[in-house]
Structure 1
Amino acid sequence: MATASSPSAVHDPLPSLTARIAAQPMVGDLARRFAAAGHELALVGGPVRDAVLDRPGADWDLTTSARPEQTEDVLAGWADATWDMGREFGTIGARKGDVVLEITTYRTDAYDPRSRKPEVAFGDDLAGDLSRRDFTVNAMAYRLAGGELVDPYEGIADLRAGVLRTPVEATRSFDDDPLRMMRAARFVAQLGFTPADEVVEAMRSMAERIDIVSAERVRDELDKLLLAPAPRAGLTLLVETGIADRVLPELPALRLERDEHHRHKDVYDHSLTVLEQAIALESRIGDGGPDLAIRLAALLHDIGKPRTRRFADDGSVTFHHHDVVGAKLARKRMKALRYSNELVERVSRLVELHLRFHGYGSGQWTDSAVRRYVRDAGDELERLHVLTRADSTTRNRRKAERLQRTYDDLERRIGELAEAEELDRIRPDLDGNEIMQILGIGPGREVGEAYRFLLDLRMDRGPLPPEQAREALLAWWAAREA
């Protein structure tokens, strides 16, 4: 299968671009309206790149010589809706039918070195606008009126070579907009490109510049990288250039650690392998598409090891309770990156539970152990299945097969008990009202304690008839009062 870095993946751009424009006649109609008003209009950036690579894409990013107010005049009476939230950057949005477009005036930005926010200055020509783009493969445009491909920085050649370069000096580009260093890693992961030496060196020498970028923007780029087809390559670039030390320091911190079961394996390498293996199992989760929660959990599952490393007298290394510590660290890092509370709790829960399967050994699981496993996993049970299976990176075939059989058996047992007992809705055999009536007490702490006792009883013994549950509750209450 051809990749973005192979010449066979790069097509003659003009037929692809012409076909995409022909498939949306309204875009050509809009170009004629701009031309009639004395303005130029061009398709620019990612949509041009994706058309050249014959990748699917629905974005219509356009650039024009018209100023924002002139763009609005052209759109008046043509677009079904317009909006100007990006006006300060020269961008006017529009919708025509189901097609959404963003039209931005040519720009020649200047950046304050203390801020990522550019001081916008409108430009007068297309080539100047392209010079401020992040990479040469995105610094191409297609003049809609004349059907001309504009490629002043040899983006097509770089696509053919699978190389990621900047239109201007890399240090200047990244100094202007440090987030471009994160984008470099993202494009490595998304498109399989190899960054040019000067790009890597600039990232390495300017890594601290990422500190001025907001946590939200860093998070968004990290998400796009993680959801790409090959996130390992992008993450490796971030680690090797020192940028990960600034945005996700828990990841490079794993490079010096050793796994307690496979001491020849670097935990950093192990974590990236677990991520790849989790991706291979994603078809089991939801709609089978990229799942950010499982990818984050796989990447972060062992980040508690550096904090819990201990050396024994015999030279062995242990990482006791790294699951609990790792969950706390994952929660802290994800909150710093402004992830939603829901995703933070989901990922940290998976990190905390990732060793639970191994705690039961390789023997026969009791019904009680299976119920507790399901209860503790809750809504994350399927993701926990994926994470646990992915966490086996041993090269010992017999051991790998044994772990696989043991987990197959666990899932079979879960299925059997789920069918018999509705495990996903486990509740005590008596509810709160029944507890208060039997014990003759009102609402309060004691009801909660009794509820938890009955829930543990339910886990240990399975469903009980109401009379047996009542007798057990009264015995517990009597012993508590004694």
Structure 2
Amino acid sequence: MLAAAAVSLRQESAVLAALGSRFAERGHELYLVGGSVRDAVLGRLGADLDFATDARPEQVQEILRGWVDHQWDTGLAFGTISAAKGAHQIEITTYRSDAYDRTSRNPVVAYGNTLAEDLVRRDFTVNAMAVRVAGTGAADFVDPLGGLDALLAGVLDTPATPEQSFGDDPLRMLRAARFVSQLGFEPAPRVRAAMRAMAGEIDRITAERVRAELDKLLLGDYPVEGIDLLVETGLADRVLPEVPAMRLEIDEHHQHKDVYRHSLTVLTQAIDLEDGDPDLVLRWAALLHDIGKPATRRHEPGGGVSFHHHEVVGAKQVRTRMRALKYPKQLTEDVSRLVFLHLRFHGYGKGRWTDSAVRRYVADAGDLLPRLHKLVRADCTTRNKRRAAALQATYSELEARIARLAEQEDLARVRPDLDGNAIMELLDIPAGPQVGRAWRYLKELRLDRGPLSRDDAEAALLAWWRAQ
């Protein structure tokens, strides 16, 4: 693995050598640290480079001046200077030996004098390795805490005791789940035990920081394992309680142990349908599509179970949870709408929808239609191969109908055949609520009957107006 690191670092030798020379000329140490070293060892070093140095922030600013393209001091209070050099994003932090107030997650920043005391304060041993950066490039691998062995074993452990580490910064518990998702690692038993015992400490963390970690977890290569860790340790009960609540609910087809497992299967299948980059909206919708089931569960005569209108309840729960986590309005609405629409297809039967129903399906989904296609397909988790094939074939037939209608009319922008000005002129009314009502009537007519000629649209509007 060190050979992979050497190759990765050699590819960045121009930047590393130039930066190392500037610090060495001024008598300062510079080390590549944290995730950058971990990723280099894994052979996946990117353009974001993290460094640690004995130079104070003001000295770092002076060293970088004239060499980087831009630099920022937004992290100055925590000893961090950020800069851009070509395609590289660089962060350089003065050695730290922070203390924490154990009330918030904010450290009382104290600068350290050695690399060793800086490394021991880091979250996990796999992020506590360093490589000395000199004017000739990169050399001297430093691993005082066994990070390389942990990396080889695929184990997440803390430099200090987990209780001390998580007590200092409870966000590290979410970071553990995130690294499980991103790297496929397994938490050490003592880390898992501490997460379980200290889950309540996560309440000290702001919603924005929790949200950022959840997104990184969900976008990882192994999100199911990360979510499982959150649920098993009780962290999900604090930050995403609707997900563990699904463990007790058996789905109506009795195909899975519980709705929770079904939802993780849907998430996995949705990921398999992604085109290119991970899709955060689709992944959130897949995970949360059935969160309305616990609140709508009903035991029916004969031993059956129903979840009527769980998509409606679930969409409301999505909005509530995502607002609490301070998600942007658009992302919240997109996920909520997908959850609301994910069952609509099951009314299609064997193609019994009218063209009007197809238009409404497309219009209600809007820009989310490609994601809705993926979500509906991913939600087919039956183990009955014949039934699964029939469902997929039926949905393919619906997509084909949508395509045929789209060739005949603009399904992406279903609008009334008359605009507001034409409505006011035809009905001889001023701008106001009546125009809006007339506009909505024409839109419903357009959805029902498809495009109308101007004469037909005017005749229909006049007939409706007289009836009012």
Q: Same fold (TM over 0.5)?
A: yes
Aligned to 1:66: 55
CA contact (8 A) 1:18 1:147 kept: no
Identity %: 63
- 1:266-345 equivalence runs, <5 A: 266-283=258-275, 288-345=276-333
- 1:156-195 equivalence runs, <5 A: 156-195=148-187
Q: How far off is 1:28 after superposition?
A: 1.4
Q: How far off is 1:153 after superposition?
A: 0.9
Equivalent residue in structure 2 for 1:12, among 3, 8, 29: 3
Equivalent residue in structure 2 for 1:259, among 242, 251, 271: 251
Unaligned runs of 5+ in 2: none
Aligned to 1:83: 72
For 1:233, give the aligned amino acid.
E
Alignment pair present for 1:95 and 2:84: yes
Q: How far off is 1:166 after superposition?
A: 0.7
Q: How far off is 1:247 after superposition?
A: 0.5
- Distance in 2 between residues matched to 1:247 and 1:461, nearest whole Å: 47
- 1:233-244 equivalence runs, <5 A: 233-244=225-236
> Can you list the C-alpha shifts for 1:447-467, whole angstroms capped at 9, x where unaligned?
222222222222222222222
Q: Runs in 1 of length 4+ with deviation above 6 angstroms?
A: none
CA contact (8 A) 1:326 1:352 kept: yes
CA contact (8 A) 2:9 2:40 kept: no
Shift in CA distance, 14/314, structure 1 to aligned 2, threshold 3 Å: closer
> Can you list the C-alpha shifts for 1:89-128, whole angstroms capped at 9, x where unaligned?
1112233344332111111110011010000111111111
Shift in CA distance, 30/466, structure 1 to aligned 2, threshold 3 Å: closer
> Can you list the C-alpha shifts for 1:292-346, whole angstroms capped at 9, x where unaligned?
1111111111111111112223322111111111111101111111111111111
Equivalent residue in structure 1 for 2:417, among 396, 421, 429: 429
Shift in CA distance, 454/171, structure 1 to aligned 2, threshold 3 Å: same
Q: How far off is 1:19 after superposition?
A: 1.3
Unaligned runs of 5+ in 1: 1-9
Alignment pair present for 1:465 and 2:447: no
For 1:52, give the aligned amino acid.
V
- 1:344-355 equivalence runs, <5 A: 344-355=332-343
- Distance in 2 between residues matched to 1:403 and 1:445, nearest whole Å: 44
For 1:193, give the aligned amino acid.
F
- 1:32-43 equivalence runs, <5 A: 32-43=21-32
Q: How far off is 1:265 after superposition?
A: 4.0
For 2:264, give the aligned amino acid.
L
The range that moved more, 84-93 or 267-276, is 84-93
- Distance in 1 between residues matched to 2:339 and 2:133, nearest whole Å: 51
Aligned to 1:226: 218
The range that moved more, 158-167 or 137-146, is 137-146
Aligned to 2:139: 147
Equivalent residue in structure 2 for 1:209, among 201, 219, 238: 201
> Can you list the C-alpha shifts for 1:217-262, whole angstroms capped at 9, x where unaligned?
1100110111111110100000000000000000000000121233
CA contact (8 A) 2:178 2:213 kept: yes
Aligned to 1:110: 99
Alignment pair present for 1:27 and 2:54: no
Q: TM-score when scaled to structure 2?
A: 0.96
Aligned to 2:122: 133
- Distance in 1 between residues matched to 2:15 and 2:397, nearest whole Å: 58
Q: How far off is 1:29 after superposition?
A: 2.4
- Distance in 1 between residues matched to 2:65 and 2:240, nearest whole Å: 46
Q: How far off is 1:57 after superposition?
A: 1.2
How many equivalent residue pairs?
A: 465
Shift in CA distance, 26/470, structure 1 to aligned 2, threshold 3 Å: closer
Q: TM-score when scaled to structure 1?
A: 0.93
Shift in CA distance, 416/124, structure 1 to aligned 2, threshold 3 Å: same
- Distance in 2 between residues matched to 1:181 and 1:407, nearest whole Å: 41
Shift in CA distance, 317/450, structure 1 to aligned 2, threshold 3 Å: same
Alignment pair present for 1:396 and 2:387: no
